[in-house]
Structure 1
Amino acid sequence: MHQFKMSKCFSFTASRDWFYRHSFANAGLRSVRTDIGEGTVMHCWVPKIQNKSRPNLLLVHGFGANAMWQYGEHLRHFTSRFNVYVPDLVFFGESYTTRTDRTESFQAQCVMRMMDEHGVPRMSLVGISYGGLVGYSMAAQFPEKMEKLVLCCAGVCLEEKDLEEGFFNVADLDEALSILLPQTPEKLRELMRFSFVKPAARWVPSYFLTDFIDVMCTDYLEEKRELIRAILKDRKFSNLPKITQRTLIIWGEEDLIFPLELGHRLKRHTGDSAELVVIKNAGHAVNMEKPKEFIKHLKSFLFDSPSSTPSSAHSGLLLRYWSEYKYGLTKHN
C-alpha cells in the first residue's frame, strides 16, 4: 500500500524535467524569458557568457515536451564549440503569445526577434521536424542572418493535398491531431509506433504514459492544434521560397510521419546547396533511434572549417520532438 502511494505521488516526468534543467545549467546555459512585444514572450536557454570568437548555434525543437527534452542528450556535443541557444517555440515550454497568427512564418519571426534581443547577428540552425519548418522559414525571411541549416525529418515540402491523397497512414486531419497531440496512453503508444521503427512504449506502464501526458501534453492544447492546422492550410509546394544556405537534410528511411519522399522533394527544391542523408532502420525520431549516426553527420557538417564552405554560409548550425518522448519514457528502465 505504501509503495502504491509513492508511485501515485512521484512524477517521473517532473523529475526528468528537473534533471534536464540542471544539466542545461551545468552546460553553461541560463534560462531567460524575453518580452519581444505585441503580447509575445519567448523563453530560451542562452549562454551564461557569450564568447564572441565562437559561432552561434540555434537548436529548434519540434512538437512534444519542450526544448530541454528535445536536445538534452545532444547539447554536450556543441557547447564547447558554439554559443548555443535553445528556445521554446511559441506555445511550448514557457513561450506564448496573445496574437492569433499560427504560421511557422510567425514562429520564425518570433525566434529571430528574440535572437536580436540577445545580440546575435548571425547563426546556424538545427531544426527537428516542426522546428525544421520554422528554421527553413527563418532562412527564407532572414538570409543575411542565417548560415548553415540542418533540417531533420522536416516536412517543409508538404502539401495540403498530400493528406487528402493518402500520403499518410491516417484517415483525416482530426485523426492526425489525436495522435500528434496524444491525450491518452494508447494514443501516445500510437505516436510511438509512428515515430520509431522499434517502439519501446508498449513496455512502458500506463501510469508513466499518463504522467508524461499530464505534465507535458496538456498546456496550450488547442493552440497546438491550430499550429498543425496552419501547417497544412492552403500549403502548396509551388509557393515554397528558395533558400541558398548550405543545408544538410537528415531523414529516417522508414519515417511514417513525414515520409522520405518529402526529403527527396526538399533536396530537389534546394538543389546543389543541400545534401540529403538517409539513415536506415530509423523512423521519424531518427535523432534518438540512431543518435551516434545523427551526431556524426551533424559534426561533419557543422564542425568543418569556414574555408571549406561557400561564402554565403560560414560557420554555425541549427539543431524536434517525438524523439524525446522515447528518451523520457524509457530511460527509467
Structure 2
Amino acid sequence: MLPGKLTKCFSFTASRDWVYRQSFLNAGLRSATTDLGDGTIMHCWVPKIYKQTKPSLLLVHGFGANAMWQYGDHLRHFVSRFNVFVPDLLFFGHSYTSRPERTESFQAVSMMKMMESHGVRRMSLVGISYGGFVGYSMAAQFPEAVEKIVLCCSGVCLEEKDMEDGLFKVANLDEAADILLPQTPARLRQLMKFSFVKPARGVPSIFLTDFIHVMCTKYVQEKRELIQTLLKGRKLSEFPRITQPTLVLWGDQDQIFPLELGYRLKNHVGENAQIAIIKNAGHAVNLEKPKEFAKHLKSFLTADSLSTSSSSSSSSPPFPQTCRDQSHENKLDSPFDLK
C-alpha cells in the first residue's frame, strides 16, 4: 500500500510540470490569459519584455502532455533571437471554448486573435503534429501574418480514405483516439511505442497512472471530437496551398504519421517547401532527437534573420497596456470575430 499512499502526497508528473514552469519563467516568459469575448479563453506563455528589434516566433504544441513539456528543452535556442510565444491550444492546458467548433480552422482563428491581443501581427511559426494542422490553417487564412512555417511530423495532407487504405497502424479513429488520449497504463505504453523508436522500458505503472491523472483526464471528450473532425471528409484536392517558406521536418520512423505524408506535404506546398528527415527518430522527434530538431529549426528560422527582424519591428507594435498576466483577463475586439 505504500506506493499508493505516496502518490497521494507526491506526483512526479506535477513536480516535473513545476520544473518546466520555472524554466519558462527563467527564460524570460510569463503566463498570460486572453478572453476573446466569444466564450473562448486562450492561454499563452509570452515574453515578459517584448523587443521590437526581434522577430516573433510562435511555438504550437501537438497532442501530448502540454506545451511546456514539448518545448521546454528548446526555449534556450530561441529566446535570445526571438520574441517567443508558446500557447495552449483550445482544450489543452488553460485554453478553453464554450463554442461548438472543433476544426483546426477555428483553432487558427482563435490563435491569431490571441496574438493580435499581444500586439503581434507578423511571426514565424513551428507546429508539431496537431499543432502543424493548426499552424498550416493559420498560414493559409492569414498569409500576411505568417512569414515562415515549420511543420514537424504533421499529417496535414492526410485524407479520409487513407484510413481505409491502411496507411495508419490503427484500424479506425476510435482506436486512434484511445491511444492519443490514453486513460490506462496499457494505452500509454502503446502511445510511447508508437511515438518513439526506443521507448522507455520498465516504467512502473504507478508513474504512468500518475501521468495520466495529471495530464490526460481533462477535456477528453472535446479532444476526441478534435480528432474526429480532423479526418472527416478530408480531401487533398480541396486543400489550400500556402506560399510561405516552409520546412517539413520528420522522423524517418514515424508510426503515427508515416513519412509518406511528409513527402506528400512537401509536394503539395511545392517550390516554397523543403524537407528534412531525422534518422532513427519517431513521431516525438522533438523529444527523441532534440539536438537535431533544434539544429534544423535554427538553420531555417534564422536564415535572413536581419531582414526578418527589420520587417517585424516595423509591423509589430509593442504589447498594449491592457495585456496582463494569468490572474487577469483582457477582452478583445478583433477584425477576425467569428459570426
Deviations 1:4-41 (Å, cap 9, x if unpaired)? 63344210011111111111111111101100121000
Residue aligning to 1:221: 220
1:284 is the counterpart of 2:283: yes
Matches of residues 129-140 of structure 1 in structure 2 within 5 Å?
129-140=129-140
Q: 1:188 to 1:164 in 2, by over 3 A?
A: same
Residue aligning to 2:42: 42
What letter corresponds to residue 280 of structure 1 in structure 2? K
Residue aligning to 2:264: 265
Q: 1:2 to 1:91 in 2, by over 3 A?
A: closer
Residue aligning to 2:317: none
Contact 2:54 2:312 in 1 (8 A): no
Distance 1:306 1:11 in 2: 42
Contact 1:104 1:137 in 2 (8 A): yes
Superposed displacement of residue 2, structure 1: 6.2
Contact 1:246 1:313 in 2 (8 A): no
Residue aligning to 1:161: 161
Q: 1:191 to 1:270 in 2, by over 3 A?
A: same
Superposed displacement of residue 137, structure 1: 0.4
Q: 1:313 to 1:280 in 2, by over 3 A?
A: farther
Residue aligning to 2:323: none
Distance 1:64 1:289 in 2: 14
Which TM-score applies when normalising by structure 1?
0.90
Counterpart secondary structure, 1:272:
coil
1:9 is the counterpart of 2:5: no
Superposed displacement of residue 306, structure 1: 4.2
Counterpart secondary structure, 2:36:
strand
Counterpart secondary structure, 2:53:
coil
Residue aligning to 1:89: 89
Distance 1:278 1:21 in 2: 31
1:176 is the counterpart of 2:172: no
Superposed displacement of residue 246, structure 1: 0.4
Contact 2:125 2:149 in 1 (8 A): yes
Counterpart secondary structure, 2:190:
helix
Superposed displacement of residue 279, structure 1: 1.0
What letter corresponds to residue 60 of structure 1 in structure 2? V
Residue aligning to 2:202: 203
Matches of residues 244-255 of structure 1 in structure 2 within 5 Å?
244-255=243-254
Which TM-score applies when normalising by structure 2?
0.89
Residue aligning to 2:18: 18
Distance 1:133 1:238 in 2: 16
Distance 1:307 1:6 in 2: 53
Superposed displacement of residue 65, structure 1: 1.5
Residue aligning to 1:53: 53
Q: What is the total number of aligned residue pairs between the two structures?
A: 312
Superposed displacement of residue 166, structure 1: 0.9
Contact 1:122 1:146 in 2 (8 A): yes
Distance 1:125 1:152 in 2: 11
Superposed displacement of residue 164, structure 1: 1.3
Superposed displacement of residue 239, structure 1: 1.1
Deviations 1:191-249 (Å, cap 9, x if unpaired)? 0111111111x321000000000000000000000000010010001111011100111
Superposed displacement of residue 174, structure 1: 1.2
Counterpart secondary structure, 2:271:
helix
Distance 1:55 1:164 in 2: 43
Q: 1:104 to 1:5 in 2, by over 3 A?
A: same
User: C-alpha root-mean-square deviation of aligned residues, in Å?
Assistant: 1.8
What letter corresponds to residue 101 of structure 1 in structure 2? E
